[in-house]
A = this chain, B = another copy of it.
Amino acid sequence: MINLTILGCHSATPRVNAFPTSQYLEINNNHFLIDCGEGTQRQMRKYKVGFSKINHIFISHLHGDHFYGLVGLLSTYGMLSREKEMHIFGPKGIKKATLQMLKISESHANFSMVFHELSSKESELIYEDDRVSVRTIPLTHRVYTNGYLFTEKEKPRKLNMLNISGYPEIDKADYLNIKAGRDVTLPSGEVILNTELTIDPPKTLSYAFCSDTSYKPSIVPIIKNVDLLYHEATFLNDRQDLAKKTKHSTSIEAAKIAKEATVGQLVIGHYSGRYPDTSMFQKEAETVFENVSLAKPGVIFTVK
């Protein structure tokens, strides 16, 4: 299951009701923080994100509205007496900048911060455990930027207990092998195919986070068929010129990516402050792609 909580989804400077980018992702029982603009830790408290659950933070790029909340959050983890390692993924340079700021503020931490600095321009596998893998999605912005693709690992097949009960010769000790996909040979020599004894596992789900970027169709193969795509849409179609100049996307461009990649659901955000009403972002995107939602602080997108 995927639960994506939007903590902040506006671009540039924090305002009273506009919080810079940050998201909390629960996927297959892993808990990730994605981007960390100023005020993220307050938003985490507001939306009751368990601080201690997070062991991995993914920063897309080092612009302030995606990154200036990181030092404060890490400092808070120190005050909360965290002991577990914290893994931080982000562009080259993130380690030095973060540690220098923590040092000058004499912020004491009893936990290790493990920085994974990224510099590749190709999509690469950067994290993997038995439940989830994370790949980078190289984006095109004014500075070095990665999106992230979070994919559930293939799950074991489920036992078809109704069919299994028809074979009293099958012992419980065989269940692990059956789940792993093996056929069973009965004492009589008869082979029972695995497909008769199991049912398909739940579909593996995936989430792609793409911010900030100009329109970049070359990411489509990487995010093909994801269940949930967040793609930035800083501008409406009226300001294609600005989108191009600042290397951001329009709402329609985000929807084009979603359509080409045949994703399940598109969430857009990173709205420029010039638009007081964000509903037009959805309307424009829906002219290209059907299933569009607007990111809003506190909204949770769930995929099962």
Contacts and interface: CB of A to CB of B under 8 A. Distances in A.
A199 interface: no
Nearest to A104: B97
A106 interface: yes
Given A97-B100, A105-B62, A16 B46 contact: yes
Interface string A69-105: 1011001100110000000000001101100110011
Contact of A105 (B42, B64, B96): B64
Interface stretch (A7-15, A121-129, A212-220): A7-15
Given A104-B62, A105-B68, A42 B41 contact: no
Contacts of A105: 62-64, 67-68
Nearest to A77: B13
Nearest to A63: B105
A119 to B, nearest CB: 14
A64 B107 contact: yes
A140 to B, nearest CB: 15
What band does the interface of chain A fall in when counting residues whose beta carbon is under 8 Å from B?
35 or more
Given A71-B64, A72-B64, A45 B104 contact: no
A38 interface: yes
Given A68-B71, A100-B100, A106 B142 contact: yes
Contacts of A93: 104
B106 A143 contact: yes
Contact of A38 (B39, B80, B142): B39
Given A38-B38, A101-B101, 9 more contacts: A12-B76, A12-B79, A13-B41, A13-B72, A13-B76, A14-B72, A64-B107, A68-B72, A97-B101
A229 to B, nearest CB: 26
Interface string A1-24: 000000000001111100000000
Contacts of A100: 97, 100-101
